Amino acid sequence: MARRQTQIADTLPLVAIDLGSESVRAMAARRIAPDLFQILGVEERPQKLGNVCVEQGIITQSSNAGYVIAEVLKLLANRIGVDELPTAFVSVGGQSMQIVAVHSKRDQARRKEISQALLDEMEQECKQKIELRNPEVAVLGLVPSFFRLDGVEQDDVPSPEQRAALIEAHYIAFYGRKAIDTQLQKSFSQAGRSIEHAFVRPETLLSAFATCDGNHILSGGCAVLDFGAQTTSLTVYKGGQYLLNKVVPKGGYHITRMLEQQGMNYATAEVLKKKYGFASPDLVSKDARLRIPASPEIGGELIFSLTELASAIELKLHEILAPLLEELHKVEARIGTLYITGGGSMLQGMAEYVQSQTSMRVQYGAHNLLLHRDTEEKYLSPAYTSLVGTILLGQDYRDSHKNQPVQKPGFFDKVKESTLDMFIDQE
């Protein structure tokens, strides 16, 4: 039997994977200064129609997803000139994800150092509390809320130098259907890669924004409107607590499909949206008429004005955002800033449109201060914020888990998963 290859994670590039509904992206980076990173390379593999493996942030076909993950990591390894990338950090989202507060307590009998092993054990206990209570769900991520050391409360995770006898750890748990976690683990196993650690997408976004804008945004309160391809989510955070995490199963893809139904093919509709789409006709400063090739079934061409195009987009945009804005109105008086992000947020005038719907200050979330000044401009787009945030959290994870071994799934693990897939219907 062949031995499994074991490496130390600290010796490998930081790798983040974003399992999007339109494509799977992977980014490799290295830290060059505190909270400053250099991107070594990025690769992307679009999902093909008829062979889609991720829908609404959830893996639906683990064998297909495993192939895509392996392929994109192989391309990335070639791009940055290494033999192999055996592990990656990943961010997790999805329509069914919910939040709940959970805590753990330890009495060490006397004041002594608080080890990382103890903190990991307390975190695992919190995860098990939720999953044992409801076997149908899996905890997708635990975000520290606050800690209490011998009765003294603090927001930061205890450092190795701190000492205490009684330790309380309070977390916000993000959980969802068990199939989300099962399919994720199976996909990486079938790719012959390991998950170094998984983070929830709201955490990766907030970490990036807080690092760039200052941690005061977390204590003062902020909201994040994450406009993706097939889902749009609203997360509200204040003073160490997630007050809200709501997801609707619609996004930029549904705007493109609406335009497609006007008589053009999908690719044309996507280009039209990205190049000429405004979030509202009120934001079109100078109208113009566009001649668009109709789909082959119809033939000829279609004629739209910019304002007509914007009016159609605004109707769909209102349909997508209305349930999220309804929730936001309940808490906006307590929150300072609303960040908008995600690939679908790049409609022209999107920030102005959202601003017209709320009394909060609205701005695009940025991650540029986390990246070296020579970074290509395209990687400063909101479409890459989650990847950069995952890199940031991945480095924090490695800093607190020194010399952690990385073990790729062995041959028999992959055979076992493949055999199981013959008898289990994909979700």
Residues 217-260: tens digit of each pLDDT: 777 889 999 998 888 999 999 887 888 889 898 999 999 999 99
Which of 331, 348, 364 lies at the terminal end of a domain, its last residue? 364
How does DSSP classify residue 9?
A: G
Distances (CA, A) of 109 to 112, 123, 164, 166, 278: 9, 20, 9, 8, 62
In degrees and rounded to multiples of 5, residue 333 shows phi and psi of: -65, -20
Does residue 204 share a domain with residue 85? yes
Strand partners, 247: 233
Q: What letter does residue 263 receive in the DSSP assignment? A: T
Comparing 161 with 4, the larger pLDDT belongs to 161
pLDDT (0 to 100) of residue 415: 41
Q: For residue 404, give the amino acid letter.
A: Q
Could you tell me the two tokens for 191?
């790719």
Contact 68, 30 (CB under 8 A): no
Q: Which pLDDT score is estimated for 421? A: 43
- Cβ partners under 8 Å of residue 56, min gap 6: 21, 94, 95, 230, 231, 249
Percentage of residues of the chain with pLDDT beyond 90: 67
Q: What SS3 state is found at 12?
A: coil
Asked whether residue 81 falls in the same domain as residue 105, the answer is no
CB 85 within 8 A of CB 12: yes
| 424/366: higher pLDDT | 366
| Mean predicted lDDT score pLDDT of the chain | 88
Q: Tell how strand 194-200 and strand 87-92 pair up.
A: parallel
Co-location of 335 and 195 in the same domain: no
Burial class (CB in 10 A: 0-12, 13-18, 19+), 50: exposed
Best CA proximity match to 57, nearest among 253, 266, 190, 209: 253
- Work out the pLDDT band at 416, boundaries 50, 70, 90: very low
Question: What is the full DSSP assignment across 267-300?
Answer: HHHHHHHHHH-BS-GGG-SS--EEEEEPPTTT-S
Give pLDDT, residue 60: 78
Q: Which residues, at least 6 apart from 266, have a Cβ–Cβ distance to it below 8 Å?
A: 256, 257, 260
CATH number of the domain residue 245 falls in: 3.30.420.40
The CATH number of the domain where 163 resides is what? 3.30.1490.110
Q: Which of 235, 228, 218 is nearest to 256 (CA)?
A: 228
Is the pLDDT assigned to residue 3 strictly greater than 90?
A: no
**Residue at which a domain ends, from 158, 178, 198:** 178
Helix axes 306-331, 252-260, angle to 10 degrees: 150
Q: Is the pLDDT of residue 8 over 50?
A: yes
**Does 417 score more than 60 pLDDT?**
no
Assigned domain for 427 exists: no
* 366-400 pLDDT, tens digit each: 999 999 999 999 999 998 999 999 999 999 999 99
Could you report the per-residue pLDDT of 257-307, keeping only the tens digit for each? Answer: 999 999 999 999 999 999 999 999 999 999 999 999 998 888 889 998 999
- CA 202 to each of CA 104, 138, 226, 236, 387: distance values in angstroms, whole numbers, following the listed order: 23, 17, 9, 9, 12
Same-domain check for residues 63 and 130: no
Count of domains for the chain: 3
User: What are residue 45's DSSP bridge partners?
Assistant: 24
Do 23 and 126 share a domain, yes or no? Answer: no
Domain boundaries, position 376: 6-95+179-213+368-421
| Lowest-pLDDT choice from 23-32, 94-103, 203-212, 319-328 | 94-103
